[in-house]
Amino acid sequence: MKRYLFLMLVVLFYFAACSPSKNLDSDFNKCLKIVSDYDNTCHGTTDDTTLARFYFAIEYLGRITNIEANIISYDVPYYDKRSDCKSDLRKWRKWYDENMDYLTQERSDSLKHEIAKDNIWWSDSTILQYVFEIE
């Protein structure tokens, strides 16, 4: 009986350790929402915070999936058509659904800090607070 109990606990802990983190899912979905919201509301001018959040989100999604955003990059980046944004969102979501078992929260956290440090026009802590509400 003890063997079966032990085996059941091992299997339970194995599956719990292999399941994707809710924080990781939250990070990914938050970036998808930032991109979608930006495309819905940004037509011309935007504030610096919204722009920084958008740049961060497309960088995060692009690096984690190796799928680049199909944006037109000027002073204020934008999608040429709403369908371009929807296409990017679908590609990123499909990639995530197919690969979420292989991602870890450590990889997501590391990537967030890496992106924050790679860009000199925002501070590490400021952008992470704006995007992920962390300190």
Closest of 66, 56, 116 to residue 88, by C-alpha: 66
Task: Share the mean pLDDT of the chain.
Answer: 78
Q: How many CB atoms lie within 10 A of CB 28?
A: 23
Choose between 82 and 121: higher pLDDT: 82
Comparing CA positions, the residue from 55, 62, 56 lying closest to residue 89 is 62
The pLDDT of residue 22 is above 60: no
Q: Where exactly are the structural domains of the chain?
A: 20-132
pLDDT over 80 at 134, yes or no: no
> What is residue 9's predicted lDDT score, i.e. its pLDDT?
46
Q: Is the pLDDT of residue 62 over 70?
A: yes
pLDDT score of 23 more than 80: no
